[in-house]
Structure 1
Amino acid sequence: MPPLDPFVIDLDGDGIELISVEASNAHFDFMDDGFAERTGRLSGDDGFLLADANGNGVVDGIGELFGSATEDGFTELGRADSNGDGLIDANDAIFSSLRIWQDLNGDGVATSDEISTLSDHGIVSIGVDGTRVSEYLVGNEIRYEGDVKLSDGTSLDSGAVFFARNTTLSKWIAPEGFAVDPATNDLPNIKGYGELKDLNAAMSLDSGLRAAVEALVDDAAGLSALPAKYRWQARMLNKRGFDHGITGTPERV
C-alpha cells in the first residue's frame, strides 16, 4: 500500500492518540477511488488539518487533507508557505481556509458538527518543517513530527501519520442520488470486498449483471449444489472480465 500520511494535531496536549485498525470502525477513502477502507484512526480529541477547498464545511475526500500517496502532510502543507518563513499563519493566503476535523464518533465520515476553525483552538501558526521519526502506535506509524503555536504562547504537537488499513474491508461510496434498484430485492446479494461493490449495487448499475444473476436463479432450481456453484463462479468471473476456463458444469465428482 502506498504511504498516505495526513497531517494531524494533538489538540488536547496529551500526545497524538491513535486507535488500531482492529479496534476501529472507521472507513475512509484514502485512495480517492470510490471505496472507503477500514482504517486505524485518530482519537476524537485530536484533529486532522484540512483545507475546505469548496467551503461546504465537510471533508469531501483525501484531496482536502494534507498528505497523499506521493508526499507527506508536512511537505504538502509547506507548499502553501507563501513567504517561506517555515510557518503557515495569517501572512499566508491559505490560513483563513484551514479547518480542523475531529472524528468525534469514530466513523471516518466528516460532518459539519465535527469541523472547527483554527481560532476555535487558539492556533496562530503551524510549522511546516517536520522532523522525520518512526514511532509506531497500535499499528499506525507517526512518520513526521512538528508543532503548532497557540495564541497564549504555548505549543501543541503535530504529526504526519501513516494509518494502518485493511483494504479488504471496504465500503463503496455511492454517488449522490444513487438508489438500489427495487428489481434486485428478490435476487441474491453478496457483500463486496476490496474494490467490489455489494452485488445488489453492482446489479443496479449493470443490467447485464442483473440478467446473469436472474438466469442463475432460474437455473438453480434444476441444479444440485456443486453444479450451481460452478455455474455461479463462471458467470461472475465472466462479468469481472476473467478467462475462467470453465466450459461446462460437472454433474458429479
Structure 2
Amino acid sequence: MIEVKDLHVSYGEFLAVKGVSFTVNEGELVTIIGANGAGKSTILMALMGLRSCRKGQILFDQTDITTLPAHLRARQGMAIVPEGRRLLPDLTVEENLRIGGYIHTDQAIVTEELERNFTLFPRLKERARQISKTLSGGEQQMLAIARALMSKPKLLLMDEVSLGLMPKFVDETFRIIAELHQKGVTILLVEQNAKKALAVADRGYVLETGHIIHSATARELLNNSEVKKAYLGGV
C-alpha cells in the first residue's frame, strides 16, 4: 500500500528523520513506536504531504507521491487522524464529519458514510448536534477518527491517538483501532504507548532519533528484551 525509501525530513537545519525506509501492505496494521521527539509524527506529516521531504521517495499504491500536495494525497485515498485531534471546535459533530467526507461528490455516499460512522461510534450519533469543543477528550478522539474515516481511505494514518486521554478512553480507542483492522482498514499507527500499539499491530518499527533501529512482527518486538527495557517498562 505504501513504500517509503530513504526518507529524510528536516526542520530548517535540524534533520528529524534520517534515511528511514519501511512498507505497509494492504490490510496490515503497522505501528511505529519510539520516545517523544524520535521523529514519529514527522514521518506521518511527510507521508500526508504536510511536511516536504529533503530526500527520499514515497510510493502510494505503486504511484510516486513524493511531491504531491496533501489535498491530492487525500483524493488518492490517504487520511490522517492528527495529533491533538484538530477538530473544528465551533462546529457540531455532524458538521465535522461531513467536512471529513468532502472528497465525495455524491451526497448519497456522504450520508452512507455518516451512518456507517454513527454505527461504529454510537456516542457520536447521540451527540450529532453538539458543538465539538464541548465533547470530552475521549469523544473528541472518536470524532477525529470518524472524520478521517468519512473519506473511505485506503490508508489511515493515526498520530498519537492515546495522548492526553483517560485510561478508560485509551482502552476504548485501541478497541476501535483493533475493530477497524479486523474490518480490513490498512493502518499506520504512530504511538508513544508502545505496549498498547504492539498489542493490536501486525508488525512494528522502533524509531530512535530519526533512525529505525528495530523492525519485526509485533509479537517479536513485545518479547525483545531491548525493546522491553526501553519502551515497555520491563526487562
Both proteins in one fold, TM over 0.5: no
More helix by share: 2
TM-score (norm 2): 0.21
TM-score (norm 1): 0.20
Structure with bigger gyration radius? 1
**More contact order relative to length (CA 8 Å, sep ≥ 6):** 2
